[in-house]
Chain A
């Protein structure tokens, strides 16, 4: 799994940090920071859910 985040698209809703806090955080400006771009397998489900929930389409998963 490879997580990507586009901070030019992010609107700082915080859904990712709420859903998968081990994988995502919000920087001081509110925009997404990926803590674990290649999360361990036990985090895959939460990470994929966070990507699905992202309202702005800033997150991607490969």
Chain B
């Protein structure tokens, strides 16, 4: 994509030029200033970390805290300092973080997730039946990439899918770089109010779903969670459960269409599918900006002194394109066959839903290309509407034909 002004390495976030690659400035930073100070759009500064090993260190060392209530915790979007006043548990350190996460780990084990395969396959098949009944061009985001993970997380949590427009648009607004602080706060308030009503319904009429289980087992007085804690946990599960995977499905489809040799390899050998999903997670690194931290003590990283209270941004895309770890990182290679990318983060905060996401991506992408072998994007790929400047990278729309 063309860019008229040269990238300013001192302001952040940096913009992707090729939408299917991290900002090119990451390469220069990794080579020359692997730990470099930048200005944040919300004010203040933070350290950008671009080398794979340094990113893993930041995300796994107790010297770097995920506690969003610490003064000076870096935020990238206006209004997000409000979220951090009462943060979800992904913005907490152990032991608080472990206390909340352990209420959920049993729901996302490999075994549990694998039992969901037939249900996910049915969901994906139905969406593609409906899509194929329409006259192209069709927006693949609206018709497939967004509803597929939304339907899955709704079923898992016990959220009525009929409410999808409201929770999808509000989640998108909270994560968008285009929202003002007021818009973000209104959207988050709306999500909380919606979830509050849903919790009340689950108290009255519990169902066979995760929300009902959390309400009956974890909510006070039977359990240990205050209502606002449960509320925040459920809002996070709902939002994280659909936005992330939706962006990966649409961008993953584009990436494979842009690499027809890789798509052909995948079609001829379904055994490559799990590795292809890992490679797409590495290559696209949509959660690049999510892993922010704050130094809990004076420390050193890659030869740079970092003082307690200074913000740190461990760039997942920069780590995943570190040529010392992933040779020729710009090459999308479904044969690469490794899982040590940090697309799901690293350390104790690594994505709780990662095995569900892997399964959803495998089923969604393989079924999409099996059912619609002539799938094509109807506009040039660098002219598509991308989510620049948001917390998660992705596509607003993806017009396709077949």
B370: Cβ under 8 A from any A Cβ: no
Chain A residue, CB-CB nearest to B338: A49
Q: Are the CB atoms of B105 and A55 closer together than 8 Å?
A: no
Within 8 A of B (CB), among A5-39: 11-15, 17-19, 26, 28-31
Contact among A11, A17, A28, A29 for B350, CB-based, below 8 A: A11
Q: Give chain B residues whose Cβ lies under 8 Å from the Cβ of A28.
A: 106, 109
Q: Give chain B residues whose Cβ lies under 8 Å from the Cβ of A52.
A: 340
Q: Give chain B residues whose Cβ lies under 8 Å from the Cβ of A57.
A: 60
B396: Cβ under 8 A from any A Cβ: no
One digit per residue, 1 when the CB lies within 8 angstroms of any chain A CB and 0 when it does not, for chain B 199-241 equals 0000000000000000000000000000000000000000000
Q: Give chain A residues whose Cβ lies under 8 Å from the Cβ of B101.
A: 11-12
| Interface band, chain B | 20 to 34
Q: Are the CB atoms of A13 and B106 closer together than 8 Å?
A: no
Main secondary structure of the interface of B (DSSP, over half): helix
Within 8 A of A (CB), among B54-108: 60, 98, 101-102, 105-108
Contact among B110, B345, B348 for A18, CB-based, below 8 A: B110
Q: Are the CB atoms of A55 and B106 closer together than 8 Å?
A: no
Q: Give chain A residues whose Cβ lies under 8 Å from the Cβ of B107.
A: 30
Q: Are the CB atoms of A55 and B350 closer together than 8 Å?
A: yes
Distance of A55 from chain B, by nearest CB (Å): 4
Bound CA span A57–B111, Å: 22
A53: Cβ under 8 A from any B Cβ: yes
Contact among B60, B110, B339, B351 for A53, CB-based, below 8 A: B339
Known: A11-B101, A11-B350, A12-B105. A55 touches B60 (CB 8 A): yes
| Interface band, chain A | 10 to 19
Q: Give chain B residues whose Cβ lies under 8 Å from the Cβ of A19.
A: 339
Known: A18-B355, A52-B340. A11 touches B348 (CB 8 A): yes
Contact among B105, B346, B347, B348 for A30, CB-based, below 8 A: B105
Q: Give chain B residues whose Cβ lies under 8 Å from the Cβ of A15.
A: 339, 350
B354: Cβ under 8 A from any A Cβ: yes
Q: Give chain B residues whose Cβ lies under 8 Å from the Cβ of A55.
A: 60, 345-348, 350
Chain B residue, CB-CB nearest to A30: B105
One digit per residue, 1 when the CB lies within 8 angstroms of any chain A CB and 0 when it does not, for chain B 339-368 equals 110000111101110110000000000000
Contact among A26, A53, A56 for B109, CB-based, below 8 A: A26
Known: A52-B340, A53-B339, A55-B348. A13 touches B102 (CB 8 A): no
Contact among A12, A17, A18, A26 for B102, CB-based, below 8 A: A12
Q: Are the CB atoms of A53 and B108 closer together than 8 Å?
A: no
Q: Are the CB atoms of A29 and B106 closer together than 8 Å?
A: yes
Chain A residue, CB-CB nearest to B56: A55
Contact among A12, A17, A26, A56 for B347, CB-based, below 8 A: A56
Chain A residue, CB-CB nearest to B345: A55
Distance of A47 from chain B, by nearest CB (Å): 14
Known: A12-B108, A18-B355. A56 touches B102 (CB 8 A): no
Q: Give chain A residues whose Cβ lies under 8 Å from the Cβ of B102.
A: 12, 29-30
Bound CA span A59–B149, Å: 32
One digit per residue, 1 when the CB lies within 8 angstroms of any chain A CB and 0 when it does not, for chain B 283-308 equals 00000000000000000000000000
Contact among B60, B109, B345 for A12, CB-based, below 8 A: B109
Q: Are the CB atoms of B340 and A29 closer together than 8 Å?
A: no
Distance of B99 from chain A, by nearest CB (Å): 12
Distance of B193 from chain A, by nearest CB (Å): 31
Bound CA span A28–B109, Å: 8
Chain B residue, CB-CB nearest to A57: B60
Bound CA span A55–B352, Å: 11
Distance of B215 from chain A, by nearest CB (Å): 19
Chain A residue, CB-CB nearest to B351: A13
Besides A11-B105, A14-B110, A14-B354, 7 other A-B contacts (C-beta < 8 A):
A11-B98, A17-B110, A29-B102, A29-B105, A53-B340, A55-B348, A56-B350
Binding site for A on B (CB under 8 A): 60, 98, 101-102, 105-111, 339-340, 345-348, 350-352, 354-355
Pairs across A and B, CB under 8 Å, 7 listed: A12-B106, A13-B351, A13-B354, A14-B354, A30-B106, A55-B346, A55-B348
Binding site for B on A (CB under 8 A): 11-15, 17-19, 26, 28-31, 52-53, 55-57
Of all A-B residue pairs in the complex, the 3 with the closest CB atoms, nearest first, are A30-B105, A12-B105, A55-B350
